[in-house]
Structure 1
Amino acid sequence: MTYDTVSKSDRLRLLLAEKSVTKALGAHSALTALLVEEAKFDVVWASGLEISAARAVPDANILSAVEVLDAAAQMAEAVSIPVLADCDSGFGNVNNVIHTVRSFERRGIAGICIEDKLYPKLNSFAEGPQLLAPITDFAGRIHAAAVERSELVIVARIEALIAGQGLDEALLRGRAYAAAGADALLIHSKSPEPAEVFAFRDNLDVDIPVIVVPTTYHRVTIAELAEHGFAMAIYANHVLRSSIRAVQATAARIAAEGTTANVESELTPVSEVFRLQGLFDMLKNQECHESVGREIAASVEKGKVP
């Protein structure tokens, strides 16, 4: 079996089962997802933070499930690699999770990630209350997702370390969510060092892929993650953060200098924008079909119906 002959969900499942660390990069639009694919990442992470920031609203369940779905689906349509969508806490209770699973699967999303916090959630790195859902409640959400999906990959995100509840609580939740039917666990941490996620992986006594998001412990390497047996690393918000800095720098220079003369050489050529949009392929296809149309019209005029 090869990746080209299976669905995107099964491809994601196969990637999670590999011994090497699968690499995912965050995106917030069809264009950024395409750039992720062209950079040879394995998976697009449809980032809740990035999607919210692209709409200039906080990552705190301000956007509706439909708005997040539309953004993720546009990414899925633009790329051939799997899209794993950040679905916050599932947009509500068990019933909302069931609707989320059905909706995202219909739109071609390979997998969804749901975190064990109360709705509405707050971004894990934001100052403010990080309120965990009871294990019974969240295990029910994961079970509902696992039962209702056809092939969709279900990732259960554990926020116990973010909420200051410690390793034992994180391990307890991991075991529960695996038993409820999760395909993978995501252990989240805001520590500047990877020690606590290493401890989680080393002490987890369940055979299930484990995903990490090395945002704050950014010095960790893929080799180190592989040594501890992690299945995937998600670089969740780097596309957004690098884009913001680039736009700020370019805008400031144009405003200060009153000309684009000194920035033009640093910008992406318009021809590259056209390529990413698929303009050249579109024009080629247009000419092909119009050429056939001209041939058909000429044959008809001569009384030779093809």
Structure 2
Amino acid sequence: MAEFLSNGRTPRARLRELMAGPAPLVAPGAYDALSARLIEQAGFDAVYMTGFGTTASLIGRPDVGLLSGAEMVDNARRIVSAVDVPVIADADTGYGNALNVVRTVQLYEQAGVAGIQLEDQVMPKKCGHMSGKLLIPADEMAGKLRAAVEARRDPDLLIIARTDAVAVTGTDDAIARARAFADAGADVLFVEAPTSEADIEHVATELRGVAPLVFNWAEGGKTPPMSLERIAELGFSLVIYPIGTLLAATAGIRSLLDTLKRDGVPTAALDAVPTFAEFTDLVGLPEVQRLEQRFSGA
């Protein structure tokens, strides 16, 4: 990713500008550099690096805290390098206590992300739409957020505070935690997995004006689907779609493999996939060829 956008703004400054706009910023989920490139090429202004998708793509396992911070940062660095739009990255719990959070923030910042998301679960954590989650005390999470804010070198790096309290201690406690996290310096608040439209509206009403809010449109998760217009009416500033690209890729791969298993050749499935030339174009072969010609000395 370029350090500065074409207009001279950094991706982090651009993310803050987008978050302050009149409409919610839509950030589809990327699980690797290729999915991030596809998101950018589709015309979206930001990419969300999903921890769920990162875990599935790297080790083929569920999002239950199996990846280390180093593995997550490495994936974030590859995604950032693949696109020019701002990247928001899942940083789970920060991978330990407040001291670990300091290093986590520094590593993600060095990787070039524009924003990081930290959550108040006990480590090892679980996907926010799974059961069996446990929380750390609110004051401990507030301390981790203060550490995160102090650790960042670029004040434009966005710190997103997520609480998973809805499923553990209820919506009212989630709102109280979110308020405490804003007081600790979080830039953006993320109340994970409300299970009804009434609860979503309650969260939005109670936290309006406290800090910008994230809506997690988790495909197939516990939160009911809502239109983007309704999400905007409620005042959310960022909408993430974390796993749609992963699910779509899974469906596409399954379909091709079913055809290959049945027929012995993939011919019948090829109309539904890019051609070889189309794919090499979208991953940047023409640019590579121009550089080869430029520096070949011929």
TM-score normalised to structure 1 length: 0.90
Contact 1:188 1:197 in 2 (8 A): no
Residues 106-163 of structure 1 deviation map (CA, whole Å, 9 limit, x = unaligned): 1111110001111110112223x21011011000001100111122210000111132
Contact 1:26 1:238 in 2 (8 A): yes
Take 2:10 and 2:270, find their aligned partners in 1: how far apart are those partners?
42
Match of 2:164 in 1: 159
Return the letter of the residue paired with 2:121.
K
Contact 2:125 2:133 in 1 (8 A): yes
Gaps of 5+ in 1: 295-306
Q: What number of residue pairs does the alignment pair up?
A: 288
Match of 1:280 in 2: 286
Aligned-pair distance for 1:171? 1.4
Please, what is the CA RMSD of the aligned residues?
1.5
Match of 2:61 in 1: 57
Contact 1:178 1:206 in 2 (8 A): no
Aligned-pair distance for 1:57? 2.2
Return the letter of the residue paired with 1:37.
E
1:256 equivalent to 2:262? Answer yes
Take 2:170 and 2:243, find their aligned partners in 1: how far apart are those partners?
25
Aligned-pair distance for 1:16? 1.5
Aligned-pair distance for 1:218? 5.2
1:209 equivalent to 2:212? Answer yes
Gaps of 5+ in 2: none
Specify whether residues 119 and 244 from structure 1 end up closer, same or farther in structure 2 by C-alpha distance, changes over 3 A only.
same
Take 2:42 and 2:224, find their aligned partners in 1: how far apart are those partners?
19
Aligned-pair distance for 1:87? 0.8
Take 1:134 and 1:33, find their aligned partners in 2: how far apart are those partners?
35
1:142 equivalent to 2:145? Answer yes
Match of 1:4 in 2: 7
Contact 1:52 1:58 in 2 (8 A): yes
Higher alpha-carbon Rg:
1
Match of 1:303 in 2: none
Residues 183-240 of structure 1 deviation map (CA, whole Å, 9 limit, x = unaligned): 100111152x432122101112543100010223453111101111110110011000
Aligned-pair distance for 1:275? 1.2
Take 2:24 and 2:106, find their aligned partners in 1: how far apart are those partners?
29
Within a 5 Å distance, the mapping from 1:84-123 to structure 2 comes to 84-123=88-127
Residues 248-281 of structure 1 deviation map (CA, whole Å, 9 limit, x = unaligned): 1110111011222211222211112211221111
Return the letter of the residue paired with 1:162.
A
Residues 15-55 of structure 1 deviation map (CA, whole Å, 9 limit, x = unaligned): 11122110001011111001011112221111000000002
Take 1:288 and 1:106, find their aligned partners in 2: how far apart are those partners?
30
User: Which range moves more in the overlay, 259-268 or 227-236?
Assistant: 259-268
Match of 2:191 in 1: 187
Aligned-pair distance for 1:3? 7.9
1:267 equivalent to 2:276? Answer no
Return the letter of the residue paired with 2:129.
F
Secondary structure at the aligned position of 1:161 is classed as helix
**Aligned match of 2:202 in 194, 199, 210?**
199
Contact 1:125 1:190 in 2 (8 A): no
Specify whether residues 275 and 218 from structure 1 end up closer, same or farther in structure 2 by C-alpha distance, changes over 3 A only.
farther
Return the letter of the residue paired with 2:71.
E
Take 2:64 and 2:73, find their aligned partners in 1: how far apart are those partners?
16
Secondary structure at the aligned position of 2:66 is classed as coil
Take 2:208 and 2:255, find their aligned partners in 1: how far apart are those partners?
48
Return the letter of the residue paired with 2:285.
L
TM-score normalised to structure 2 length: 0.92
Return the letter of the residue paired with 2:184.
A
Aligned-pair distance for 1:61? 1.8
Take 2:216 and 2:86, find their aligned partners in 1: how far apart are those partners?
17
Take 1:3 and 1:150, find their aligned partners in 2: how far apart are those partners?
23
